[in-house]
Amino acid sequence: MIRVYILAIAVLTSLFMSCQQGKPTPVARSFDQYLYPDDLQGVVPPGVSGDDSIQLVRAYIEQWTRQQALLHHAQRNVNINTEHLAKQVEEYKNGLIVYEYEQALVSRKLDTVVTDDEIKAYYDSREELFLLKQPILKASFIRLKQDAPEIERVKRLFRSTNFEEQDLLERYCAVYALHYALRDTAWYYADELARKIPISKINEDHYSQTGRIFEIIENNELYLIILHDSKFRDTRSPLSLVHSNIRNLILNKRKIDLIDQMQKRILDDAHKKNNIEIYN
């Protein structure tokens, strides 16, 4: 922390001395390159002050000195074709300008409304894209200490579809369960579910045994698990699981089409106005 405040004092002193002497005083040097107070303009975003602003300035200065040191070393140890380098820089700059224009166009023109009918049509027409690479499951579970009371009663309530008994189980879990999910209707990939419960201890051959209570003991804790539905690898993924992915695919296709149309329109217009010529 002391170093941070020393840095802040140094930067402020440099700024003050610059104003007093009418010439800039550097805040850092790396070999023959100097960093001046004016170079720090914009480093700290509006609204950031105190220790946060000091840390940002410090990080920038350290990054600058590191980059300049590496650049100094590279320039003395690599034979640089300056003409080729300049061409690469120009191409990179031009690519950035075009990219910024394309992003501005997408921001203004892209239709981001994707209906459920469009998503369903995409899903139905591209079945091969949505084959599962691993099993998916719908599951409810209760995680308890091994010595939790009334385990047999809990298992009976867990199987029940009666609203009042489900309410009793919810109250029990609120008091005794370490973690539980009784009404989760979402699909989960097996490896995703394994981060919540020891599903890997259930053989995949048993995934189709829906409605059964699986009892697993791990780390002196009891897991009660009911599988409500399952789908196996190489079968078609449910639409609900890939809904968001399909929406993104549709939007990405629209984005590509929009950019292609823009490019074609610009080129066609340039050709019509004789702004493009290819000389033989």
Instruction: Please check whether residues 249 and 214 belong to one and the same domain.
Output: no
Is pLDDT above 70 for 10?
A: no
Determine the residue type at 161.
Answer: T
**74 and 208 belong to one structural domain:** no
Which pLDDT belongs to residue 17? 53
Report how far residue 255's alpha carbon sits from residue 103's, in angstroms, rounded to the nearest whole number.
9
Rg of the chain over Cα atoms, rounded to whole angstroms, equals: 32
Together in a domain, 121 and 251: yes
Classify the C-alpha dihedral 262-263-269-270 as positive or negative.
positive
Mapped onto helix, strand or coil, the DSSP state of residue 165 is helix
**What integer pLDDT is reported at residue 15 of this predicted model?**
52
What is the pLDDT at residue 4? 46
**Strand-pair partners of 142:** 180, 224
Q: What percent of the chain has pLDDT over 70?
A: 92
- Higher per-residue pLDDT: 1 or 202: 202
**Structure token pair of residue 38:** 């004016």
- pLDDT for position 11: 54
pLDDT in tens, 42-62: 888 888 888 888 899 999 999
- pLDDT, tens only, 127-143: 899 999 999 999 999 99
On whether residue 97 sits in a domain, the answer given is: no
Average pLDDT, the chain: 90
* Average pLDDT, integer, range 73-86: 88
187 and 250 housed in the same domain: no
What does residue 145 show for φ and ψ, rounded to 5 degrees?
-70, 150
Q: How far apart are CA 11 and CA 26, in angstroms?
A: 9
Would 274 be classed as within a structural domain? no
Q: Give the mean model confidence (pLDDT) for residues 218-236.
A: 95
Confirm whether 136 is domain-assigned.
yes
Buried b (16+ CB within 10 A) or exposed e, 130-154: bebeebbbbbbbbbbeeebeebeeb
Query: Could you tell me if 259 and 184 lie in one domain?
Result: no
Residues 32 and 64 in one domain: yes
Residue 13 lies in a domain: yes
**Assigned token pair, 204:** 């995949």
Task: Note down the domain range covering 27.
Answer: 2-78
Instruction: Give yes or no: residues 115 and 138 share one domain.
Output: no
Q: Is residue 98 part of a domain?
A: no
Q: What six digits make up the tokens of 259?
A: 């950019």
Are 162 and 29 in the same domain? no
Do 40 and 111 fall within a single domain? no
Q: How many CB atoms lie within 10 A of CB 251?
A: 16
Is 273 inside any structural domain? no
Look at residue 273 in the predicted model and tell me its pLDDT. Answer: 94
Residue 167 in any domain: the answer is yes
Tokens 């997408």 belong to residue: 106
Which residue, of 78, 95, 115, is where some domain finishes? 78
Q: Do 122 and 250 contact (CB within 8 A), yes or no?
A: yes
| Tally of domains within the chain | 3
Residues 185 and 168 grouped into a single domain: yes
Average pLDDT over residues 87-112: 96
Are 105 and 248 in contact by the 8 Å Cβ rule? The answer is: no
Per-residue confidence (pLDDT) for residue 21, from 0 to 100: 54
Same domain (yes/no): 155, 226: yes
Of 60 and 11, the structure prediction assigns the larger pLDDT to 60
- Do the domain assignments include residue 156? yes
**CATH number of the CATH domain containing 177:** 3.10.50.40
Q: Tens digit of pLDDT for each residue in 17-39?
A: 554 555 688 999 999 999 999 89
Higher pLDDT, 231 or 280: 231
Give the span between the Cα atoms of 166 and 161, in whole angstroms: 7
The CA distance from 252 to 260, in Å, is 12
Task: Read off the pTM.
Answer: 0.70
Does residue 58 sit in helix, strand or coil?
A: helix
Are residues 113 and 192 part of one domain? no
pLDDT tens digits, one per residue of 155-207: 999 999 999 999 999 999 999 999 999 988 899 999 999 999 999 999 999 99
Higher per-residue confidence, 32 vs 2: 32
